[in-house]
Structure 1
């Protein structure tokens, strides 16, 4: 088993791999006690060779590997690529290109939602992947033979998975579908998350502009501190502390100390003092300088029933096209379509698979029917007229068509909710 521990050996390996049409790549890392993932191992393989790279070796620079990762002549193949790519982007400042994510490709090829690596390996090659070493300490040296065998298998099996999916996509005419998905994964903006945007990952919903402003500033403070100290965000400040400071907006150490979420002595700490300074600065701003509250989803009467109907349509369309529903549309996208907004599911390859049918269902031009064996979509003789929002009981219209009992999105059963706003 070839383990690369010197820069010269890595450079020689990458020179050989640079002539390969593709390489499969995987990483092992630790992140429990750090903000940034600590890269512990890199596995890489072409059809001709496979190697393990030890990034913790003292005499090793990863620059030859970073050059290979941006070599446009070599396809870089990952499974569930984002965490691996985040590591390369953080260490080199660049995103590997071009890339192919076998998890995304598997969903496009009908392997199911977010199919696990060991499952797809077994289905494609018949091999069973031993995952017993998955959660071992990859930073400890020396690594065991079991760890090294497990690590290398990840990229050697991935060769067969990639070639199978690549050929399947070509046969189905779906290579461009995966290329569309890779554009987002390969975008540096996906990994360049600014501290000013850290508040977006929080689940709290601000009710006032001043509350939102404090939330944004405290979240950015925590993000910068976590990055500088390279510790997990919650080691710096728990989410509940941010929520309570934004809600209560304490202006003195005494008021801050009274908050239930903060620890003893937090008001005297550097972060506590910085938090107080933020609260006092934000609360002194004129209203015109406060951020606008994010627009909430419109409370459309009967929308929940229509979304449920959209889920049924999504499943039907996904099954008919042999793709996983998750890669076609999310629940948020279904809600947007019901509300009459734009959504990724209405563009690109997703539009032909699902988007056009979703718009027709919303307009009452098609319906979902049960024919005694299963569900199917049928064309309506004429669009279903919206029900006026008069506050009265909505009409429920059913269409008989050769024994089929059908409902459109305009006529799906709901708690007497009018459907005109759909």
Structure 2
């Protein structure tokens, strides 16, 4: 027990803060602020989709950088520069009304978020690899905390402030999170990310078994499709809810998304220790698809909030399950490969949805749900953990 205390204070707390900054506020703060930018700054839905895509392109570039230059995400300097860049780009979003400037800020933010995310994942893999699965789950849960924080800030400001005020508030919150994350002991070899779903005892690695290549390819395809499908809701869910419900409901739904995501990685860790991880992953994907359909088919505050719970309670858990399943397969640099596949999906998703936005957000959400449903199909070919028979 005494050995766990340093891990909590030097890894879990600053690691969760870094995740909350890089992913929760830095990446997904755009979602609740987007409707304000459309209403007050004249940003067209298609422009919003392109800004989202630029951010995901930056994330892809950051993931590729981490793959070809492994020293970058294990560098304390690179990690801290990533934190500073995230704060600076949030402030830049507030300081200008130029779409090209916003695009540059979102691109830079995407690169920084990938570097920080992979750096934190490496620390979790090294420092919490023994008996730290649940603690690691709370580190990843920081993403949900950041999402909830950004939603609360926008909810508090949308009646009295402006879109730029909301960005300034996110920048200040990001600066506080960066100060907490600053002490994270970055520097261990990244290695395969031992995500919360891959608990010790859930089954032996499947490297070298027949069918492992097929299983990993199926996982990569599923992960790419999930990236393309979920990000449509991740980008437009709040705007879609606001189109059919009172404005405060949209931001409230985003707070619910974050709160539901906060404990989801730890929860999926337990589920994956009791059931085949591929089965848990497939179920989560199908549940997520249903949750994405709800606001497209039905209106009302109750439906909107329930959709937020379903979306938040699945997307981060799916990420953890995917990373954990890849790690158990023993494929070299599986985390980097999966991150790149996910990033490609995130770029394709908004591009595919953009032509549908002229008819409202419902068609885009339906498209996202169809893509996520398709992502469940390749999981039938995945063999991992206790069911790794090849």
Q: TM-score, normalised by structure 1?
A: 0.24
Q: Which has the higher helix share?
A: 2
Q: Which has the higher strand share?
A: 1
Higher relative contact order (CA 8 A, sep 6+): 2
